[in-house]
């Protein structure tokens, strides 16, 4: 719907400026990723030169990728599968428990002394505020006592804890935005809350579930400090593969760029493929 400001603002030279801004922004956003990609395809000595067009300026090679998989293939596969396992598990777990709690906060009325729903929601928000570095050492001791150090379960528990507050709040917002009438009809018909949630509400909230799940997945995939402290061999994740690239043999751009791409590509590709949901998820809760 065109409004007067839009009509007023549309002038010829503007289209050009807008185009310029668009191109500049796209370049700004994509350049680092592109650079990593291009560097990974260069011969080692070529990486020190400012060329950036494969085939036109330099002959691309898959050698670096092959080398990485040949020399560190086992570690790469191990870290990729660990990341996948932990990210998926913690996302699903956070989504599940968070949805339950979010639904409860959205539909029911709680009162424990002076504490009401809104306060409980604030309490969840306060959990997001805690910097990981504050709890990482007690977490380590806690996990060690439980025998969960360097295990998938241990890291999953840590990541779920990290994702749970946000998942709860996002799902609460989603449920608040879904009209109650549909549920009430089902309840009147004798369905239990459980059935209502499972059969009626969750399908309606599917886009939000997807976006929250993806956010949780990405946070877990990219998480570094818990992974750094709580694992060292069996349950290491991709970010640790990156951190270990330092001090190996120097500024091996070609080597680092392969690892950086291995870390970046999965969540980025995932995000790009479902960006519609992601955008919705990010803007939920920020816009009433």
Residues 170-209 that bind another protein (CB under 8 A): 192-194
Instruction: Report the alpha-carbon distance of residue 222 to residue 217 in Å, rounded.
Output: 9
Do the beta carbons of residue 285 and residue 169 sit within 8 Å?
yes
| Residue 56 near another protein by CB under 8 A | no
| Residue 35 near another protein by CB under 8 A | yes
| Residue 53 near another protein by CB under 8 A | no
Q: What is the DSSP string of 148-166?
A: -TTSHHHHHHHHHHHHHHH
| 21-29, 53-61, 84-92, 176-184 -> range binding another protein (CB under 8 A) | 21-29
Among 53, 56, 62, 287, binds another protein (CB under 8 A): 287
| Residue 80 near another protein by CB under 8 A | no
Helix H, strand E, coil C: the string for 75-119 is HHHHHHHHHHHHHHHHHHHHHHHHHHHHHHHHHCCCEECCEEHHH
Q: Which residues of 170-203 are buried (b: 16+ CB within 10 A; e: fewer)?
A: bbbbbbeebeeeebeebeeeebeeeebbeebbbe
Closest approach, Cβ 139 to another protein, in A, equals 5
| Residue 97 near another protein by CB under 8 A | yes
Q: Between vectors from CA 123 to CA 121 and to CA 128, what angle results, nearest 5°?
A: 100
Question: Considering only residues 215-274, where is the footprint of another protein by CB under 8 A?
Answer: 218, 221-222, 224-225, 228-229, 232-233, 238-239, 242-251, 253, 256-257, 259-260, 263-264, 267-268, 270-272
| 56-64, 131-139, 177-185, 200-208 -> range binding another protein (CB under 8 A) | 131-139
| Residue 161 near another protein by CB under 8 A | yes
Among 41, 87, 105, 148, binds another protein (CB under 8 A): 105
| 32-40, 55-63, 84-92, 198-206 -> range binding another protein (CB under 8 A) | 32-40
Residue that is written with structure tokens 């399908």 in the block: 203
Do the beta carbons of residue 87 and residue 217 sit within 8 Å?
yes
| Residue 76 near another protein by CB under 8 A | no
């Amino acid at each position: 719907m065109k409004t007067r400001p839009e009509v007023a603002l549309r002038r010829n030279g503007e289209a050009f400026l807008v185009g310029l801004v668009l191109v500049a922004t796209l370049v700004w956003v994509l350049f680092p990723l592109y650079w990593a990609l291009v560097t990974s395809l260069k011969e080692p000595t070529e990486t020190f030169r400012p060329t950036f067009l494969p085939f036109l300026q330099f002959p691309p090679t898959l050698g670096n990728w092959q080398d990485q998989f040949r020399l560190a293939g086992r570690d790469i596969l191990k870290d990729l599968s660990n990341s996948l396992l932990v990210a998926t598990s913690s996302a699903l777990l956070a989504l599940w428990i968070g949805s339950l709690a979010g639904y409860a906060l959205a539909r029911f009325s709680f009162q424990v002394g002076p504490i009401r729903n809104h306060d409980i929601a604030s309490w969840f928000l306060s959990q997001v505020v805690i910097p990981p570095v504050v709890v990482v050492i007690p977490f380590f001791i806690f996990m060690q006592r439980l025998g969960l150090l360097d295990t998938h379960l241990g890291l999953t528990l840590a990541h779920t804890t990290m994702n749970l507050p946000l998942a709860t709040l996002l799902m609460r917002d989603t449920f608040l935005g879904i009209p109650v009438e549909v549920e009430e009809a089902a309840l009147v018909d004798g369905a239990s809350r459980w059935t209502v949630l499972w059969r009626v509400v969750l399908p309606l909230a599917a886009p939000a579930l997807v976006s929250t799940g993806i956010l949780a997945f990405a946070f877990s995939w990219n998480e570094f400090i818990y992974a750094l402290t709580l694992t060292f061999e069996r349950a290491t994740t991709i970010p640790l593969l990156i951190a270990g690239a330092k001090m190996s043999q120097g500024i091996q751009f070609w080597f680092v760029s392969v690892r950086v791409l291995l870390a970046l590509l999965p969540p980025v590709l995932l995000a790009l493929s479902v960006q519609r949901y992601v955008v919705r998820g990010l803007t939920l809760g920020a816009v009433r």
